[in-house]
Amino acid sequence: MMGAEIDDGKVSRAAVFFLNSGKENRYISAQF
């Protein structure tokens, strides 16, 4: 799936991924 990568100038980088494997294990991964 798609998501967005964000750089707001305060937090160095924040990436959000929405992963859809087609199974029930949907999850979000946020990296800072």
Partner 1 sequence: MSNYGHTHAQANAFDIYGMGSYLAVPPSYGQLESSSHNTLTIEGASQQRNPIHEARILKTDLKKEYAYIAGDATNSYPSSIGLDRWYRHVAYLPPNIFVMVDELKSSRISNSDLPTKWQLNYLPESVTTIDSFNHVITISNQGFLKTNILYPIPTSYENKRLSWAARQVIARFDNIFGTGKENQIVTVLSVLENNTAQAPQVRLVKGET
Give the interface size with partner 1 as a residue count (CB under 8 A).
Answer: 24
Closest distance to partner 1 from the beta carbon of 23 (Å): 11
Cα dihedral across residues 5, 8, 13, 30: positive or negative: negative
Closest distance to partner 1 from the beta carbon of 22 (Å): 8
Q: Is 12 in the site for partner 1 (CB under 8 A)?
A: no
Q: Are 13 and 32 in contact (CB under 8 A)?
A: yes
DSSP letter for 21, please: -
Binding interface with partner 1 (CB under 8 A): 1-9, 11, 14-22, 26-28, 30, 32
